[in-house]
Chain A
Amino acid sequence: MALMTGDEKHGPAATSTLDVLWVLYDRVLNVDPVDPEAPGRDRFLLSKGHGPMAYYAVLTARGFIDPELLPGFGDFGSPLGHHPDRVLLPGVEIGSGSLGHGLGLAVGTALGLRARGLDRPRVFTLVGDAELDEGSNHEAIAFSGAIGLDSLHAVVVDNASATHGWSGGIATRFEREGWSVLTVDGRDHGALEAALTAPHQGRPHAVVAVVEPKNSTASRSPASAR
């Protein structure tokens, strides 16, 4: 991540997701950099496209990105933008950056794979707790819970950055719509792996990965731009 420099202002966004991304790509996802378009692969959709340095770093470590590309982060000719673009990078399933798009796309992807008879691939998307402010997420949460879309997995990285918080708790929001939900320490790799692979037959599955608050001393940074 240190190779990606410049004035990108989403440092906390990047570091908050690092452990979840590592566990997903190291222990959970069935993906192969040699065949990134394999029909039977799991799909990971980074909805929270802000601060993608952790995402690029993990994709590099897993062989999807050439490490020589990292210093060009954000440059005009680089495929590594401050928000990722699926058209420019193999292994990146969606372009993201504008918040609130990944979950809806993930629902459609899961439905599409199911309609094609591809029952094995799982679909994961990563959203932030502040990103949940976007109403589009709640359209997707309610619908996928109602239809029991069990190949769908949402990971909510909670660094307490939602402006008005979630008074009933993030997990409750999913549970009320019929999801299976587990809340874990977002820095505990063993707990993350167990939660991400927990059985949840007939229901979509959410994992709330709690990390240090965005505005704690350890990760204080300038206010993020949307």
Chain B
Amino acid sequence: METMRERFIATATELLDHDPRLAVVLADISADQFGRAAARHPGRVINVGIREQLLIGVTGGLALGGMRPIAHTFPSFLVERPFEQIKLDLGHQDAGAILVSSGASYDMASMGRTHQSPGDVALLDTLDGWTIHVPGHPDEAEALLRRAAAGDNRVYLRLSADGNPEPRAITPGRFEVVRSGRAGTVIAVGPMLQPVLNAVEDLDVTVLYAVTVRPFDAATLRQAVGASASTDVVLVEPYLAGTSNREVDEALLDVPHRVLGLGVGRAELRRYGTAADHAAAHGLDAASLRTRISGFLITQ
């Protein structure tokens, strides 16, 4: 199956042919795969080498120079390492850009902590004005990229090697009601949809699918909670557990509710292995999710 990263490269390559405002900025990661695009557009496919502060600085400068830049590398080096550049060279300059990461959370489990960044969304969430997309399928990643490329704002597109077997007909910015129930509401973010659906197969719960997590679709959540007999909410996010808890609390400020935030644990595992190993270790596989969700919504 084609990966989100492969679809991103193919789509960005095509967009470069048609939009002279677009530029791709790389720090060696994926540079080979952008070779054809670089040959066709040498001034708009820019590989700065292994220099991630410059990756974002150049991205900000390109935006100030009138371009629509896309910066891409692994999330550890796209968000964590040059975080102050993101804050100042993009945010403080009021510059628009698209940041596209691939290798989410524990996608590269065997590489260890240096290549794992489950805190990327939480970090960006400390800043103002970011739209954050977490697609669950290559088709969704493509649609979100095309939409972002046509805009002017600051967008983080978080691509994962993990994903759902089928795409959803997403509306960027809106949660989709996948199914309705009475025992509570489960919000599944991006690649967590299929494990969540497996986990709650025989539970009477509402499932919302979120690919855009910032801004957070409070309206759809309120509607779903209002239609359910229970105001309990479970968030299942493929990054740091609890990242969006406050968004749920703010959305339901006038509604007594409980919220359980599931995601990647804060403690460093110091384990290698596979993404599946890490999903199980963080309680994000379908069996663990079933236990945790049913325990929270039904048995308490």
A interface, CB within 8 angstroms of B: 39, 43, 85-87, 93-95, 98, 100-101, 103-116, 135-136, 139-140, 142-143
B93 close to A (CB within 8 Å): yes
B interface, CB within 8 angstroms of A: 20, 23, 25, 43-44, 46, 48-49, 51, 53-54, 56-67, 69, 84-85, 88-89, 92-94
Complex: A25 Cα to B59 Cα, angstroms: 27
Complex: A143 Cα to B62 Cα, angstroms: 15
- CB-CB under 8 A from B48, the residues of chain A are 139, 143
Judge whether A115 and B67 touch: CB under 8 Å: yes
Instruction: Given A108-B61, A115-B43, check contact A143 B51 (CB 8 Å).
Output: yes
The residue from A100, A108, A109, A111 contacting B43, defined by CB atoms under 8 A apart: A111
Judge whether A104 and B64 touch: CB under 8 Å: no
Complex: A98 Cα to B61 Cα, angstroms: 16
Judge whether A136 and B53 touch: CB under 8 Å: yes
Closest 3 CB pairs of A and B: A108-B61, A104-B57, A112-B65
Judge whether B64 and A112 touch: CB under 8 Å: yes
Instruction: Given A93-B64, A135-B53, check contact A108 B59 (CB 8 Å).
Output: yes
The residue from A39, A105, A140 contacting B64, defined by CB atoms under 8 A apart: A105
The residue from A43, A86, A136 contacting B57, defined by CB atoms under 8 A apart: A136
Instruction: Given A104-B58, A108-B60, A143-B48, check contact A113 B65 (CB 8 Å).
Output: yes
- CB-CB under 8 A from A105, the residues of chain B are 57-58, 60-61, 64, 89, 93
- CB-CB under 8 A from A115, the residues of chain B are 20, 23, 43-44, 62, 65, 67
Judge whether A140 and B65 touch: CB under 8 Å: no
- CB-CB under 8 A from A111, the residues of chain B are 23, 43, 46, 58, 61-62, 65
- CB-CB under 8 A from B23, the residues of chain A are 111-112, 115
In the assembled complex, the CB of A84 is this many whole angstroms from the nearest CB of chain B, namely 11
Complex: A100 Cα to B53 Cα, angstroms: 10
Complex: A87 Cα to B61 Cα, angstroms: 15
Complex: A140 Cα to B51 Cα, angstroms: 8
In the assembled complex, the CB of A11 is this many whole angstroms from the nearest CB of chain B, namely 24
Judge whether A107 and B58 touch: CB under 8 Å: yes
Judge whether A95 and B88 touch: CB under 8 Å: yes
The chain B residue sitting closest to A105, CB to CB, is B61
